[in-house]
Structures are given as structure tokens and as C-alpha cells.
Amino acid sequence: MMKIIAVSNEKGGVAKTTTALSLGAALAELDNRVLLIDLDAQANLTLAVGMEPGEADLTSSSVILDNTPLNQVCRKTEVQNLDIIPSSSRIETSEQFLPIRTNYTTILQRAIQAASPLPYDYIVLDCPPALGAITRNALAAANLLLIPTQAEYFSAYALRNMMGLIRRTREADNPNLAYRILVTMLDRRNRTHRNIHEQLRATFGSGVFNTVIELDTKLRESPIAGQPITYYKSAARGSIQYRVLAQELMEYAKETENQKTA
């Protein structure tokens, strides 16, 4: 069964796009067919796979604003098993025009359902750093919300708003939405990082991934090369940790599927 993962945090600079790309590529490396959907007007995910924002006639805004069928917008990347729906600055207008539509928070959910069955095992949604109409659409469509979070005060504090949005989404559009927090850019030498990491685990328990993503300069270099970290530097620490995360996510998906069929 296809799994849909929304990667979101209203706090910027927490490795959100890096996580969407690196996790998607790690899942693809494990013989999963993966579709990335760039929902951010900055189009950093589009750039990170080596595409120029604006060069594609059809983008994620075509799906959200124009009801273009999902399978007409997918484009292949250089990475085997990894496709993308690119973004452009046009999607920013969605925040203005979507709320005047009926049932606007489920437009993406319905677009995915209308295109099913899609030839993918996972869809990874890269959300903008805001909790507006686009992010609400992503959460309504997702099975799992993955929240990248630095082990720093402001990043951890932003989780309060994310939890509020999860509750509203469950009440209105997606009662089965689950979430997991991913600690990113961790510096184990930093005592504050270690303390906040421990506090997150104490507060959210199993809601925090066991895998953590530590600081790695190669993670910053890979988007410049237009490649995922697993493709750019296969043996780098970031590559290894995102592969471990992919394994943990696949195990989680298998467990939840077993629970549904039990």
C-alpha cells in the first residue's frame, strides 16, 4: 500500500527539504518507487534534484490550482526509482486563492485519490515553512507527518503549533494522521543539543524517531551538486543516517499495515 509522508515544520532552517530529498533517495535506493512533491514556492527541492524552477510547464501548482491530473505532472530525476513533481513561485498564490474554495484543505488528497493507483510505494511531500493552506492540504493527504526539528530552543518551541495543527487536521480532514519527530543537525558535543534531545524523547516518547541526523557538511554540499546525499557522497555520515531512517520508516509502515489487517 502506498504511503504518503508530509515533511513539515513552520520553523525554517531545520533541514526540511534536505530530509525530504535524502529520505526519498534512501527509500528509492532500497528498491521503493518514490515520488517527491515540491510544495514550497522557494522550490529548493526542485533545485536540489538538478532542475531549474520555472522550466517545467506543469508543476505542483498545476495540481493544486488547475486540477491537472497528478500523473501528467510527474518528472523523472537522475536517481533510479525517484520522480518529482517540481514547484515554482506560482504556488505561493495558493495561500490567497485556496481558502475561498469549498473543501479546499482536501484538494491534494482528492488529486492523489483520483490518480490512484499510482506506480509508487511512497510519496514524500515537501511543505513550505508555514502552516497555511498548502501545509493543511499536505497533512490532509498524508499517512504520516514527519517533523524535522533541531535540538534547539526555538525549533523545539515551534512544535507546539505543529501539535495544534495535527489536532485540527485529525478533527476536520484526516483522523488517522500520525506524526514522528526527527532530530536533525545534532551536534553531540553541544550540551544544549544533548539536553533538548533528551527532553524531546522524554516528552514525546515513541513520537520521536530513534534515528537522528547529525551535522554533516556534505548534506549542505549535495543540493549544490543537484544530487541527494546518498548519490553525491554514498559513504558520508549523512548518507548512512538517512539510510537508517529509511529502514526505520519502512519498519514503521509495515507495523502500521499489520495493525490494520490484524
Give residue-wise pLDDT tens across range 171-216: 999 999 999 999 999 999 999 999 999 999 999 999 999 999 999 9
Q: H-helix or E-strand containing 6?
A: strand 3-7
Q: Which three cell numbers, joined as nine digits, stand for 262?
A: 490484524
Question: Does the pLDDT of residue 256 top 90, yes or no?
Answer: no
Is a pLDDT exceeding 70 seen at residue 262? no
Q: Residue 69, preceding bond cis, omega within 30 degrees?
A: no
Cα separation, 1 vs 254, in Å, equals: 10
Whole-model pTM: value is: 0.96
Q: What is the pLDDT of residue 132?
A: 94
What CATH code is carried by the domain that includes residue 251? Answer: 3.40.50.300
Going by C-alpha positions, the residue among 256, 240, 57 that lies closest to residue 176 is 256
pLDDT digits (tens, 9 = 90+) for 26-68: 999 999 999 999 999 999 999 999 999 888 999 999 999 999 9
Those residues with Cβ within 8 angstroms of residue 194's Cβ, 6 or more apart along the chain or in another chain: 151, 188
Domain of 195 in residue numbering reads as 3-261
Q: Cα 38 from chain centroid?
A: 9
Dist. CA 161–CA 19, nearest whole Å: 20
Residue 7's contacts (CB-CB under 8 Å, 6 or more residues apart) are 16, 17, 19, 20, 23, 124, 125, 126, 127, 146, 148
Question: How many angstroms separate the CA atoms of 45 and 23, rounded?
Answer: 12
Model confidence band, residue 98 (pLDDT cutoffs 50, 70, 90): very high
Please, what is the average pLDDT of the chain? 94
**pLDDT (0 to 100) of residue 157:** 86
pLDDT score recorded for residue 54:
81
How many domains are contained in the chain? Answer: 1
Section 144-168 average pLDDT = 93
With residues binned 3-state (H G I as helix, E B as strand, rest as coil), the percentages for the chain, rounded to 5, are 50, 15, 35
Local structure of residue 220 (DSSP, 8 states): H
- In angstroms, rounded to a whole number, what is the distance separating the alpha carbons of residues 181 and 201? 9
Instruction: Write out the DSSP string of 203-218.
Output: HHGGGB-S---B--HH
Distance of alpha carbon 162 from alpha carbon 236, whole angstroms: 31
